[in-house]
Amino acid sequence: MTVTIPEFVTAEGNVKVAWIPAIADLSAPTLVELNAGVDITCYLPETWGGITADQAKGEQRRMCSKESFETLGRIKRAIADITYTYLPQAPGTDPANKVKTTLTAGAHGFLATRYGLPATDAWSASDVLDVLPAEAGAQNKNTGGSDEFAPLTITQGLSATGVLVEDATAA
């Protein structure tokens, strides 16, 4: 028996996350739309949980069987809370405060996530990405960190407000 070890791409440095204000076709966002967004990748810690799915499971029972079976139900998408750095004494126009000034509470947009290419690479046509409509929640300023080197951060909830389009292709 031959053992096949599949190729892979490391996660570190190869995920790009952006907040896009408007996308007309979620299955084919344009480069203009993607470039109008704010790249939030470098503001996020490596432990950010991304987009998740929780699917309901129900029970199916039949009169002729002493066993019951599972059936899958609705999917609930969620976005892990984001925690990002900011400079509290700098103006909102400072690049370090770009995420804070973009993701104001109630802002609607799209979370675009590209996997498998360097996060620092610009968007390009034929990039494969996931797109999820979202709304930004309240910003909560954190007053401490895990150690003496921890930066000041903001933690903020994002709500999934629509259907996730997986493997969209940039046009």
> What pLDDT sits at residue 147?
85
The per-residue pLDDT for range 123-146, each reduced to its tens digit, is 999 999 999 999 999 999 998 777
Contacts of 159-162 with C-beta under 8 Å, sequence gap 24+, read: 159/79, 159/134, 159/135, 160/51, 160/77, 160/78, 160/79, 160/132, 160/133, 160/134, 161/108, 161/133, 161/134, 161/135, 162/132, 162/133
Question: Is 99 inside any structural domain?
Answer: yes
Question: Is 66 inside any structural domain?
Answer: no
Inter-CA distances, 35 with 30, 32, 63, 80, 127, Å: 9, 5, 58, 24, 13
Confidence of residue 46 (pLDDT cuts 50, 70, 90): confident
Please give the average per-residue pLDDT across 67-93, as a whole number.
95
Cα gap 163→132, rounded to integer Å: 6
Cα gap 64→54, rounded to integer Å: 31
Strands 82-85 vs 153-160: parallel, antiparallel or unpaired: antiparallel
Please give the average per-residue pLDDT across 138-157, as a whole number.
90
Question: Is 56 inside any structural domain?
Answer: no
Question: Does residue 89 register a pLDDT over 90?
Answer: yes
Question: Is 149 inside any structural domain?
Answer: yes
> What pLDDT sits at residue 69?
93
The per-residue pLDDT for range 98-129, each reduced to its tens digit, is 999 999 999 999 999 999 999 999 999 999 99
The domain of 107 spans 15-50+80-169
Torsion of CA 31, 37, 42, 46, to 10 degrees: -90
The per-residue pLDDT for range 58-73, each reduced to its tens digit, is 999 999 999 999 999 9
Please give the average per-residue pLDDT across 43-48, as a whole number.
89
Question: Looking at the 3D structure of the chain, how many domains does it have?
Answer: 1
> What pLDDT sits at residue 150?
87
Question: Is 136 inside any structural domain?
Answer: yes
Q: What is the mean pLDDT of the chain?
A: 95
Confidence of residue 45 (pLDDT cuts 50, 70, 90): confident
> What pLDDT sits at residue 143?
87
